[in-house]
Amino acid sequence: MLTLKVITENPDEVIRRLAKKHFDAKEIIGKIIELDKTRRNSQTALDANLAELNRISKSIGQLMKEGKKEEAEAARAKVAEMKEGNKDLQEAMDNAQEEITNLLYTVPNMPHESVPEGNGADDNVVEKMGGMETELPKDALPHWELAKKYDLIDFDLGVKITGAGFPVYKGQGARLQRALINFFLDEARNSGYMEIMPPTVVNAASGYGTGQLPDKEGQMYHCGLDDLYLIPTAEVPVTNIYRDVILDENSLPIKNCAYTQCFRREAGSYGKDVRGLNRLHEFSKIEIVRIDTPEHSYESLKEMLAHVEGLVQKLELPYRILRLCGGDMSFTSALCFDFEVYSEAQKRWLEVSSVSNFESYQANRLKCRYRDANKKTQLCHTLNGSALALPRIVAALLENNQTPEGIRIPKALIPYTGFDMIK
């Protein structure tokens, strides 16, 4: 969440920048500032009362020694009265702080100045395009038909076992999944990321820490009996490793990666955009996470973008990189780039990765800090990216590599699959 200091010192700037996300912050920022005045006034009065209370308490013993019993009793009565008043001041201060925190949770992160104006996906800016052009046979099939033809993925069986959006991978389809997972993890390790194997369920504190709660509560699977949530991405458990932690500046940037299953309740509407692997309730993903200093975090973002781009290049897929506009950004990100691969059979772009810098927004929620060379404690910057999400990568690989002989496996994946063609 945004820091109270940023809001109280630069309210107009906060309102202006949040408008780019189409969030009207004027009223809520005004409420936060008023509540902060109440909190600070209560704190000032309480501090003054405590000092006076201490002075009077010390005088009681002296008055008793001097035989001034009535004055001592009056002082005791004054102390009791002040203690009751202090309870009211403390309650007012605590209530104001609680209201401030609750309001801060509802305020999105401010977008970086480089974020373009726009209302939605159509206004995102194409930063770069690359990859190999694909020529398919005239009778090219979409991946859901290829999956059935080669017995790779059984969508109906997934419906039987669980429901729509939970496919069953079989034979070479399962081996392709495992190959991609290992390939992505090896590439991350070669780039200096330490692998983490985190839980795939988290508590509410972890959800609040990275901003999934309260913003995306309806999109997460909730285990009501234990009040736990199935993770929508490994970003949540991995970033929460550093909740309530003070790091040494020399240890930054921290670079972690993790493979997990991911779970999302909201899987979209019906139609071609969500058919097959295009949008699922459960899917596999490798996530990269960085914890960094404010001075270096945008250099880290560049390195993460280069890492993801290298993956799609090695998979020989046509791709483009989008700089998201204000209207299409997530609640928590300050700057976000999406990677999309082109599906030749579907004639459409498929999002396979989002790479984001959250600046200090998550770190403030997490209380993730570092101690600099001057021993001063500061908030870290957090970053994360998909590297990569498997379903649409698999969709594009199947569709773009289909031939009359079968489905060709990209050269970089053959050591992992153990076969060069799906037949």
Element (H, E) at 244: none
Residue 116 lies in a domain: no
Q: State the binding site for L-serine.
A: 233, 264, 287, 384
Q: What pLDDT is stored for residue 214 in this prediction?
A: 87
- Same domain for 328 and 236, yes or no, is yes
10-residue mean pLDDT series, the chain (423 residues): 96 97 97 96 90 82 77 78 85 94 96 97 97 82 97 97 96 98 98 98 96 85 95 98 98 98 75 82 98 98 98 97 98 98 93 98 98 95 98 97 96 98 96
**Token pair for residue 155?**
């969508």
Cβ(126)–Cβ(320) under 8 Å? Answer: yes
Q: State the binding site for ATP.
A: 264-266, 351-354
- 226 contacts: CB under 8 Å, gap ≥ 6: none
Type of residue at 290:
R
Which residue, 56, 81, 105, sits at the end of a domain?
105
Question: How many domains, in total, are found in the chain?
Answer: 2
Which residue, 105, 138, 169, sits at the end of a domain?
105
Q: What pLDDT is stored for residue 393 in this prediction?
A: 98
**Token pair for residue 102?**
């609750």
Q: What pLDDT is stored for residue 351 in this prediction?
A: 97
- Same domain for 196 and 240, yes or no, is yes
- Same domain for 288 and 395, yes or no, is yes
- Same domain for 204 and 330, yes or no, is yes
Euclidean distance between CA atoms 314 and 310, whole angstroms: 6
Euclidean distance between CA atoms 308 and 319, whole angstroms: 11
Domain that holds residue 100: 4-105
Element (H, E) at 232: none
- Same domain for 187 and 93, yes or no, is no
- Same domain for 146 and 98, yes or no, is no
Q: 91 phi and psi, to 5 degrees?
A: -65, -40
- Same domain for 361 and 255, yes or no, is yes
Distance of CA 259 to the CA centre of its chain: 16
CATH of the domain at 297: 3.30.930.10
- Same domain for 364 and 406, yes or no, is yes
Residue 115 lies in a domain: no
- Same domain for 184 and 86, yes or no, is no
CATH of the domain at 100: 1.10.287.40
- Same domain for 267 and 296, yes or no, is yes
Q: State the binding site.
A: 233, 264-266, 287, 351-354, 384
Task: Kindly report the three-state secondary structure assignment for every residue of the chain.
Answer: CCCHHHHHHCHHHHHHHHHCCCCCCHHHHHHHHHHHHHHHHHHHHHHHHHHHHHHHHHHHHHHHHCCCHHHHHHHHHHHHHHHHHHHHHHHHHHHHHHHHHHHHHCCCCCCCCCCCCCCCHHHCEEEEEECCCCCCCCCCCCHHHHHHHCCCEEHHHHHHHCCCCCCEECHHHHHHHHHHHHHHHHHHHHCCCEEECCCCEEEHHHHHHHCCCCCCHHHCCEECCCCEEECCCCHHHHHHHHCCCEEEHHHCCEEEEEEEEEECCCCCCCCHHHCCCCCCCEEEEEEEEEEECCCCHHHHHHHHHHHHHHHHHHCCCCEEEEECCHHHCCCCCCEEEEEEEEECCCCEEEEEEEEEECCCHHHHHHCCEEECCCCCEEECEEEEEEEEEHHHHHHHHHHHCEECCEEECCHHHHHHHCCCEEC
Euclidean distance between CA atoms 164 and 148, whole angstroms: 16
